[in-house]
Structure 1
């Protein structure tokens, strides 16, 4: 991190703290409302700034945060005015900007790295706290008392936002199966609490238990985790442990609400639950991570995207008269330890082979496949059969202009069944900074482009190779819309196996959100 950024960051920290001190000295409301103000003005912006320090939207967020924090300060130091809803609305807008950054991070990275996903969901949850705050300031009827409305806003600032942020940071330090269980419970808990408050007191009770289970797993994981500094680990444990303690009061409160035990008053809840969250969990938690802030493991892909998009139907511009014989010029560029000659020959002389395919949809996705079959016929792209009958797939390879596509030696493989186009993919090779080569496959779609970055591995014992989208940060399936990258929740794996010196078998598996939805079997013969 640059020295200039460090200086600006600490200046912003001082601004946030000074604005909170102004709120404390000139506060016009009940003292306990400062618990929420502390989170809004100090805790949330400080930890958010640490996380998004290199994000492209950070300059805009800084402006929004200063205006949002100023608005909360104005609400704190003035009595009720006609501008209260305006100030609360500005704060809500600031939390929405934060959520947009979380959404952008989530879409660009995809569903890999659970610790980063938990942080993204913290950002996305924050505007819910902003909406409850807006309702509290505006005295909007929510079906709950004003104090419950205010406490719900506190919940989404502390137990939703800050807890998820801290959980994500723990995962950056060390990640195990226990951590993944904890992160799953904690990530889903805010939704269950919101549903429980709205639907059923019994469900609210179970949602608090959901929180406690997740925090218990997280605490256990932290005990076995090595931190850069020992006292940082003690601070993190104290912070998470104090939240477990304060949520235990919430559990007793929820138990009393369903008719068991002694009812706990709101004043007692504020005294123990609120102050513990504010100082022991929130403040100590922030200080613990400022000791040593972990960096994310995810490295953003650096591959060159294809500039070719489609229309209705998809038409790929080709260089007339230029027909490469294969999908790659030299398959040895992938530096495989052992690759059967027939597989190498297939990729270098693809046009000399015949393909027979059998498409099998998962029955759960078959209704969607039927709908997509009707739509894709107009696109002439990804127009896969909906029956599993074995059919010959004919094809032609043509060159595509590098100036139009933007990648090295692009060539399109157009495939058809019974003369009807089903697939148009533009193949190229991408080499990363470490000298590792990947298949870069582009599928032009109407006004956008879908790309698969696939790594190639040899499977020595089976005389086969594996081509996958799930090996490292570079690989994946992406959608580009006007230059903006979205990582799709798709994964694909090819297993290509030698049968003999003249034939191959291949299986193409595709999953969405980890669920298998499509398998294509290929029989490949040399003509």
Structure 2
């Protein structure tokens, strides 16, 4: 890395002009939304502790993602300017994110199965749909690759899946799953589906050549393979959970190895190449996600017939969920925002 320009100065592969980021009082709307969301989230935690706000602990992870992580992550992604096809969804997502997140929080506190709960989730579904349109616009503007950009696109495209499962949870629709699984799937796609691919793509830029491709070395090819497995594995795990325990376990194993491999690259090559504070945040994120992937592997192994359960769902919520939220997603997204300047 020593023969490259500083990481903070690296630019994405050029495509076309980008949408200007909406600002208020000279500040990015996404930054202001993330700060305000942080304050609101802390208020929710306080209200949950003293019993004045009827939100389950797992719902606090959803609230954190909607109020803080989505504006943080979406705010650092460059969206190509392409008439109204992308500009309108982009502005709608940026401006509508805050109010939609508040409506989603209210939905989590509303009676499950009520019309009010379902209606309150619809703004978030619209906002995440707009984010997905931005991801599609990025993808079509480039016509494909390179891999870090595809990972970013995937994060934007996956997030409506999270909103869809939250709508199902609000409606009391669980299909053939336990109700908690539907809610946890909504959580999963905010973190593993949105935050993880964004971080992989945004930090992966630092590891690429000037044309956006990974070097034709063993480590470069391994990082490229890990990026592909992470992007595809998120979907394969969901398919496995739905249809086949064997597919689920194989997908989780491959996903775990890929994430751990990328985390090692972060620690070895990205952390030393960036400024101290974002480097520290990325180091915390890399170590944290290795721990959460080990827990995910232990949990998935129990889906095979005759395999004892190594960790329960409540334990996964407590340890996997909390470390993913505060050890990985929040530090990593803060780091990439700091690297942008």
TM-score range normalised by the length of the shorter chain: 0.7 to 0.9
Does 1:157 find its partner at 2:202? no
- 1:217 alignment partner in structure 2: 261
CA drift at 1:53: 6.8
- Alignment coverage as a number of residue pairs: 294
| 1:181–1:217 Cα contact (<8 Å) kept | no
User: Superposition pairs for residues 263-278 of structure 1, below 5 Å?
Assistant: 263-278=310-325
1:111 to 1:264, Cα distance in 2 relative to 1, 3 A: same
- 1:7 alignment partner in structure 2: 27
- 2:302 alignment partner in structure 1: 256
Q: Deviations over 1:194-235 (max 9, x none)?
A: 110111112111111121121122123221234331342232
3-state secondary structure, aligned to 1:257 = coil
- 1:496 alignment partner in structure 2: none
- 1:407 alignment partner in structure 2: none
| 1:27–1:78 Cα contact (<8 Å) kept | no
3-state secondary structure, aligned to 2:145 = coil
- 1:199 alignment partner in structure 2: 243
CA–CA distance in structure 2, aligned partners of residues 20 and 262 of structure 1 = 33
Q: Deviations over 1:151-192 (max 9, x none)?
A: 111111111211000000112222232321221111111111
User: Superposition pairs for residues 158-307 of structure 1, below 5 Å?
Assistant: 158-175=191-208, 176=214, 177=220, 178-222=222-266, 223-225=268-270, 226-258=272-304, 259-293=306-340
3-state secondary structure, aligned to 1:205 = helix
Does 1:114 find its partner at 2:134? no
CA drift at 1:292: 1.2
Structure 2 length as normaliser, TM-score? 0.79
CA–CA distance in structure 1, aligned partners of residues 280 and 32 of structure 2 = 28
Equivalent residue in structure 2 for 1:59, among 75, 91, 103: 91
| 1:232–1:288 Cα contact (<8 Å) kept | yes
CA drift at 1:22: 4.3
User: Which structure carries more relative contact order (alpha carbon 8 Å, separation 6+)?
Assistant: 2
CA drift at 1:237: 2.7
1:215 to 1:136, Cα distance in 2 relative to 1, 3 A: same
1:3 to 1:111, Cα distance in 2 relative to 1, 3 A: closer
- 1:302 alignment partner in structure 2: none
Consecutive unaligned residues of structure 1, counting only runs of 5 or more, are 295-527
CA–CA distance in structure 2, aligned partners of residues 189 and 231 of structure 1 = 30
CA drift at 1:47: 1.3
CA–CA distance in structure 1, aligned partners of residues 93 and 233 of structure 2 = 27
1:229 to 1:138, Cα distance in 2 relative to 1, 3 A: same
Structure 1 length as normaliser, TM-score? 0.52
CA drift at 1:61: 1.7
User: Superposition pairs for residues 54-453 of structure 1, below 5 Å?
Assistant: 56-57=87-88, 58-79=90-111, 81-175=114-208, 176=214, 177=220, 178-222=222-266, 223-225=268-270, 226-258=272-304, 259-293=306-340
User: Superposition pairs for residues 19-30 of structure 1, below 5 Å?
Assistant: 19-24=40-45, 25=47, 27-30=53-56
Consecutive unaligned residues of structure 2, counting only runs of 5 or more, are 1-19, 82-86, 209-213, 215-219
From the two aligned structures, give the one with the greater helix fraction: 2
Q: Deviations over 1:258-303 (max 9, x none)?
A: 1324442211111111111111111221222232128xxxxxxxxx
| 1:64–1:97 Cα contact (<8 Å) kept | no
Does 1:38 find its partner at 2:88? no
3-state secondary structure, aligned to 1:112 = coil
CA–CA distance in structure 1, aligned partners of residues 225 and 273 of structure 2 = 20
CA–CA distance in structure 2, aligned partners of residues 191 and 18 of structure 1 = 33
| 1:189–1:207 Cα contact (<8 Å) kept | yes
CA drift at 1:35: 1.3
1:228 to 1:247, Cα distance in 2 relative to 1, 3 A: closer
Which is higher, the Rg of structure 1 or of structure 2?
1
User: Superposition pairs for residues 504-523 of structure 1, below 5 Å?
Assistant: none
